[in-house]
Amino acid sequence: MSQTENRTGAEDLFAGPDDECVDAAYLANGADWDQIVEAQRESTDETIVINVGPQHPSTHGVMRLVMELDGETVVSVRPSIGFLHTGIEKNMEYRSWTQGSAFATRCNYVAGIFNEAAYSLAVERLLGVTDDMPPRAGQLRVLMMEVNRIASHLTGVGAGGLELGATSVQEVCLRERERVLDFTEAVTGLRMNNAYVRPGGVENDLPDDGLDLLDELLRQLRRNLPEIGQFTLQNPIFKNRLQNVARMDLSQCMMLNASGPVLRSTGYPWDLRRTEPYCGYENYEFDVCTASSMDAYGRWVIRLDEMDQSVRILEQVRDALASTKGEPYRIEDPELRWPSELTVAADGQGNSNEHVRHIMGESMEGLIHHFKVVSQGFHVPAGEVYVPIEAPAGELGWHLVSDGGTRPYRAHLRDPGFNHVQSIPIMAEGGMLSDSIMGIASLDPVMGGVDR
């Protein structure tokens, strides 16, 4: 046996000329598959092992499931994640606190505004300015979070419909999601990766016709959202595919730290907007949506109900925004303010002409301040904090550590999908292969947030 082979005869790719060969070497790219196949070949049962993913239309992103099947029954499931790891958290440690919003929003590409909001709330708590937030800033944050919640739920519900072969569900959800994204673009300038919520407030106020656009969006959603439930909830095929599928009771949810619709499908009304209010949620009337079925059907119903409650909140936010028109939408602190005054030129590109004229021709101090804030950022007192919020999939929180500098010493995201993916074996093992796909759909994990 050569020095670079182990006792099984397999080559040790990591052994040098003088290194002792290890018994087994596992690679993160899935090179352990041959060993799985060999172990299965030596077993005496008739089960088979298959790969679901990492490129698969039913995995809500690039996720790999190693499944052992006895016929169509799932014997065991091993989730394999990390295919979308982009190092966002480590990158944030080399960027200013303000730039962090642009990284945070990319962790979850269908609910990015929630990542921005939780991150900004954490930075503000470190700064000690939480109570200084103008009311209009909180209203605009709630506005965009609830709009984004609807967009996220429409994505999850539509994808779940596709996995049933119900393309009409996805078509209706995409139709309504386009309306939501059009409004999001009108307010923030982008359909996704918005970086709209920033430490100290929001990027910009509503456009001049913002309330009119919101009124039209609410009118369309009130009329069209019920259509999704009308051709799904009472459909016998739909009910047979979702009811009593991917069950997980309260004790299992608590053990695996599940949250959001997964937890509330057990009947437990835990919603951080109600239990630990932030951004002024205590000022709005809405119901915490729950179910008692503990299955994929209950999670589907909760998402439909939550979209209705989001519309209800948006109607109240609309009136609040009308009453605070013209008021500040961020903390009036020059150290926290992005120096372009967050306005653009008449052609929609670049800093405002007034700001350029001021720093380039009127004020040397203004130019110096502009350079320092853009290149260096503001200092955050030393300390650490964890701030959670209620995202569409559940509890989303940022753990930030500051050493007193102008960038995070450590940034870590608690994404609800990470916890939910580890619950797949409990929900899938013992059930049918087709049911496991609906179980994953009922979790609505976004792998960008899971892998980061």
Whole-angstrom CA distances from 443 to 48, 56, 265 are 26, 16, 11
- 365 occurs within a structural domain: no
Give the residue-averaged pLDDT of 157-164: 82
Whichever domain contains 131, its CATH number is 1.10.645.10
Q: Are residues 22 and 104 in the same domain?
A: no
Q: Are residues 2 and 125 in the same domain?
A: no
Q: Are residues 211 and 277 in the same domain?
A: yes
Query: How many other CB atoms are found less than 10 A from the CB of residue 255?
Result: 12
Whole-angstrom CA distances from 88 to 15, 75, 81, 392 are 32, 35, 16, 21
Top-confidence residue, 84 or 297: 297
- 79 occurs within a structural domain: no
366: CB partners within 8 A, 6+ apart: 358, 359
Torsions phi, psi of 384, nearest 5? Answer: -140, 155
Segment holding 397, helix H or strand E: strand 394-402
- 370 occurs within a structural domain: no
- Give me the chain's average pLDDT, please: 82
- 369 occurs within a structural domain: no
The predicted structure's pLDDT at residue 85: 86
Q: Are residues 238 and 112 in the same domain?
A: yes
pLDDT digits (tens, 9 = 90+) for 162-195: 888 878 888 888 888 999 998 988 888 888 888 8
What's the domain count of the chain? 2
CA atoms of 309 and 297, how far apart (whole Å): 19
Structure token pair of residue 94 = 């080399």
Q: Cα-Cα-Cα-Cα dihedral of 56, 57, 63, 69, to 10°? A: -60
Reduced to 3 states (helix: H, G, I; strand: E, B; else coil), residue 425 is helix
Residue written as tokens 């994204």?
A: 181
Owning domain of residue 319: 88-336+378-451
Q: Are residues 168 and 279 in the same domain?
A: yes
Whole-angstrom CA distances from 146 to 126, 277, 352, 366 are 25, 14, 30, 37
Q: Are residues 226 and 315 in the same domain?
A: yes
Predicted confidence (pLDDT) at residue 19 exceeds the cutoff of 80: no
Residues of the chain with pLDDT > 70, as a percent, come to: 82
Q: Are 194 and 119 in contact (CB under 8 A)?
A: no
Give the residue-averaged pLDDT of 30-57: 68
Give the residue-averaged pLDDT of 312-318: 92
Give the residue-averaged pLDDT of 419-441: 85
CA atoms of 125 and 93, how far apart (whole Å): 18
Q: Are residues 230 and 308 in the same domain?
A: yes
Residue written as tokens 């095929």?
A: 237
pLDDT digits (tens, 9 = 90+) for 46-78: 778 888 877 655 556 678 888 888 888 888 888
* Sequential DSSP letters for 109-128: SSSHHHHHHHHHHHHHHHHT
Q: Are residues 3 and 119 in the same domain?
A: no
pLDDT digits (tens, 9 = 90+) for 431-445: 888 888 888 888 888
> Of the ranges 51-65, 127-141, 397-411, which one carries the lowest mean pLDDT score?
51-65
Q: Are residues 21 and 161 in the same domain?
A: no
The predicted structure's pLDDT at residue 141: 92
- 3 occurs within a structural domain: yes
Predicted confidence (pLDDT) at residue 143 exceeds the cutoff of 90: yes
The predicted structure's pLDDT at residue 407: 87
363: CB partners within 8 A, 6+ apart: none
- 75 occurs within a structural domain: no
> Of the ranges 19-33, 228-242, 281-295, which one carries the lowest mean pLDDT score?
19-33
CA atoms of 318 and 143, how far apart (whole Å): 8
Characterise 290 by phi-psi region: left (phi > 0), alpha (psi -120 to 50), beta (else): beta
> Of the ranges 8-22, 286-300, 339-353, 395-409, which one carries the lowest mean pLDDT score?
339-353
- 399 occurs within a structural domain: yes
Predicted confidence (pLDDT) at residue 361 exceeds the cutoff of 80: no
- 123 occurs within a structural domain: yes
pTM of the model: 0.82
Predicted confidence (pLDDT) at residue 7 exceeds the cutoff of 80: no
Tabulate helix, strand, coil % of the chain (nearest 5): 50, 10, 40
Q: Which spans in 3-134 are helix H?
A: 33-42, 88-92, 100-104, 112-127
CA atoms of 105 and 3, how far apart (whole Å): 49
Q: Are residues 18 and 144 in the same domain?
A: no
The predicted structure's pLDDT at residue 8: 44
Q: Are residues 247 and 312 in the same domain?
A: yes
The predicted structure's pLDDT at residue 139: 92
Q: Are residues 226 and 308 in the same domain?
A: yes
